[in-house]
Structure 1
């Protein structure tokens, strides 16, 4: 299994949903970065279960322990090891799934690939593994802060309830003022009501997360097989339940003509910029210094609290009624995960660019 993300800034993860702990090792963290443990914990708190009425009821503190690579409050340049212990597993909730394949889960594919699987919460395929990504992303954010680069994601759509405008019309800091992490208070309330209704039906709902990177310098990305938007797309699609990625105006640009879509270059106070940003801050696979923005589509959570038809490992038809504690919508807890994967990608490409230019 490939368990390492990145090239120069790397994250290697380990652990299972119902194992002893989740953890990882970050390598390539620049030395001398001020490490704020409270900030890392804050990022984990945004992802942790049980934080609101529209998330899973699993109660985990998700307290991170930094094991190495930090001395007197700063990164040493050596690998940063960390661990987050599991304390609230209800493995018995999955007893009826030991020999049965859950619809749209990784049960069947893991069984085919490895010949066995950990049925407890999906084992390694569980979204709980994203804890490691959030820690790695928090460390990357701390480094990016010193470069003046920010990463902000928010829920822009749940089901058919969507924001009416693009990100420039909203104060993105307001996303943390509600449990669905949407910067529009009225739309957030509608989203919450929809999620509550879906949850009451024993069902789930999907949606879209938008992410914005500000302050990214021009020049990040490779011209052929390491394009920055391709790297961001790969990072986003590695997140559990992610089903689609588009950057800039994405699929909607097909309705425009070139004369409408082209971003015109201008010189403002001896600084080259563009009048518009249809390209989403990336041209030719390389950042151009404008805001980078993209959207990630997430499917409805596969575990629903309804009886479903399926088959067991012998191929015999059967029914399955899932038990346990599950999210009716992944969006609120996926926001910090999208930010984490974005931050690690941008920092990794920043370091690569520094390594190849004078």
Structure 2
């Protein structure tokens, strides 16, 4: 479906080469200061043609706010927004009338619907993500303004070029009986997660915050581009300042919602949170996150192998996860394949395509993270408000009730 969310609901529309793309956002709280530039900032980070590492398609992606806002304030009613497609070249896709592009969605869309968009991948194109990014920018502004939540994503690998971190790396354990293990992530990477800013991320076209690694990533992307090929990579995202208690067990756990959101992004093939696959190699005695009391009197964990989520519920620590993006399917190399009627042939795709999608995927990942956290904040606040209207809890043992819960529920 094209709608995401429970209370903060986003419906996107549009194909790669139609008149416009956009979204309807329902459930945005009234009274939020909002102007077009709040949305445009993230759309401009996502748009094509930003450097020689991306597609040369020249779209300004100028957003138009259509409804739900008056005098710069949200009304609580549905917010409509659109972005016009201006640099369309559907004639670049005439070959796809005959050939399904290898590993693209031409064939599967035709099999599902019996008809498909004639150019640009239709709804499977990354152009669809404009609506997500615009909606995510609105959610993010509310989260930052009301709760101080920060969401920053960055490119953590391109091909075999990785940021210096142990997260997700193959085990170096010499034999099966040796349970020695390094930290899931290095202290340097932990520091990066705690402090990295979007300004640092955007300081290089690759959107990798490590200058040395960024230059190596650039060379890898250029090598793929010069060979009329493509290359994949990963994006890491950290969400800071999220309170404990978010997530809806058992089927809508916080990590399940994040995985759903991230794997709905075009070209994604993998998702891991916290220690991820690396955590499967670590004994529980080394993997557990011990609790301690922080200086401010709140509970915290000494380590964060869990990635800020335990039992499907946020524990107040930073949430961090990683998404794998495959090498883009559309390349300009001639590929042996078959036509829709089964006739063998050779396809050399035309058009303007990203040799690597991960730099432009960064704001998309941030947007989907914003939508998940926004929705979960509204759900949890609704639960807390409903509980606060009930009489005090006085019939349960103290160990079953959060300290102060009786007073909260009793409205003392």
* TM-score tier after normalising by the smaller chain length: over 0.9
Report the equivalent of 1:349.
Answer: 376
Report the equivalent of 2:115.
Answer: 116
Single out whichever of 335-344 and 110-119 deviates more from structure 2.
110-119
Report the equivalent of 2:311.
Answer: 284
Q: Quick check: which has more Rg, 1 or 2? A: 2
Matched, 1:296 2:323: yes
1-structure distance, mates of 2:259, 2:250: 15
Structure 1: tracts of 5 or more residues without a match? none
Report the equivalent of 1:172.
Answer: 196
Per-residue deviation at 1:172?
1.9
Report the equivalent of 1:323.
Answer: 350
1-structure distance, mates of 2:206, 2:249: 37
1-structure distance, mates of 2:216, 2:342: 42
Report the equivalent of 2:256.
Answer: 230
TM-score by length of 2: 0.85
2:300 pairs with one of 260, 267, 273? 273
Per-residue CA deviations over 1:15-55 (Å, capped at 9, x if unaligned) read 11000000110000011111142231110010000010100
Report the equivalent of 1:263.
Answer: 289
Per-residue deviation at 1:12?
0.5
Per-residue deviation at 1:317?
1.6
Structure 2: tracts of 5 or more residues without a match? 166-184, 386-412
1-structure distance, mates of 2:297, 2:60: 50
Single out whichever of 312-321 and 80-89 deviates more from structure 2.
312-321
Report the equivalent of 1:207.
Answer: 233
Per-residue deviation at 1:276?
0.6
Per-residue CA deviations over 1:199-247 (Å, capped at 9, x if unaligned) read 0000000011000000000000012111000000000000000000000
Report the equivalent of 2:150.
Answer: 150
For 1:204, what is the secondary structure of its paired residue? coil
Report the equivalent of 1:248.
Answer: 274
What is the CA RMSD across the aligned residues, in angstroms?
A: 0.9
Report the equivalent of 1:161.
Answer: 161
List, as ranges, runs of 4+ consecutive aligned residues in structure 1 with deviation greater than 4 Å.
none
For 1:22, what is the secondary structure of its paired residue? strand
Matched, 1:60 2:87: no
For 2:121, what is the secondary structure of its paired residue? helix
TM-score by length of 1: 0.98
1-structure distance, mates of 2:269, 2:30: 36
1-structure distance, mates of 2:340, 2:158: 34
For 1:177, what is the secondary structure of its paired residue? coil
Report the equivalent of 1:81.
Answer: 80
1-structure distance, mates of 2:191, 2:250: 34
Report the equivalent of 1:198.
Answer: 224
2-structure distance, mates of 1:62, 1:83: 9
Per-residue deviation at 1:310?
1.5
- Map 1:32-43 onto structure 2 (within 5 A): 32-43=31-42
Per-residue deviation at 1:108?
0.7
